[in-house]
Structure 1
Amino acid sequence: MDSDGLFLNTLALTTTICGFFSEIFQVVGPSSAVLVHVGEDVTLPASLSPVISAQKFEVIWFRDDFDSPVFLYQNLQIRPEYQMQAYEGRTALFTEELLKGNVSLRLQDVRVSDGGLYKCFVDSGLWNEEVHITLNVEGDFLLFSCYSMSPLVVVT
């Protein structure tokens, strides 16, 4: 191989390596649980570090099952057809903020069942990372106990 060919191969390899390392990132979230009251709206904060655009990345928010997302952003689109039914119409990304690496999830009208662990997975195609965020839901809960005393049902 002549020196020109070696130079071009080295340049191509360097460009590939630099391109790969420019997409290495972490997904950063809060160091403690996020607290919300039943019925309120909440933001589960997550962002890329260093700050790079996530606009062309895949962003998946999920609970236990990766294949049942709370929210899916893929191929520059929000994909509600893959979303868990319990979250339908209650979630959003700040799509205008994706350019700044903001991948936070907005959850509206929080329910008791929304409490627990959330995972935000971000995939650039060359690199992926995730962060885990706990949502604690507080509120006034009514407890009912029912028992039957034929022919009467008593609710306390």
Structure 2
Amino acid sequence: MGELGMDDAALAAGVVEVAPQLHRVLERRADADFEHPKPPEVQLAVLRLVQERPGATVREVADELQLKPNNASALVSAMVTAGMVRKEPDQRDRRVVHLYVTDEARGRAEAAQALFTGYVAAALGALEPAQREAIRAALPALGALAREIRAAGR
């Protein structure tokens, strides 16, 4: 990879600045509007992962979210106690458990996602068409950027 030029460094600084701002404003709006207590971000990440891959193991959660195995195990145990996920033992190896999102947690996650989507859709509607198109065009590149940062950290 080449060295970042001044324009690229400014772009990197802009992304680093705007990403948490966007996250914070969405979180604050949801905190005010959502009827249930919001789980910590790491629990939401586990819910998203297990919804995308029903039957994921604790080890897969640890690997995907870059957690220490004992921390992932404690996190999953707390989520089982809270009724967010359920464990089912593997049929071949009883030491392995597969994780599934509970119906209640799925419903709450969908409601929270609908809130976030609504906030962003309303804000997008207030932007100029060219601004909306620039955001639409940037999404694949932002996804690639996230994957690159993650891969570099492994």
Short-chain TM bin: under 0.3
Q: Determine which structure has the larger helix proportion and give its number.
A: 2
Which one scores higher on RCO, CA 8 angstroms, separation ≥ 6?
A: 1
TM-score, length of structure 2 as denominator length: 0.24
- Structure number, greater radius of gyration: 1
Q: TM-score by structure 1 length? A: 0.24
Q: Which has the higher strand share?
A: 1
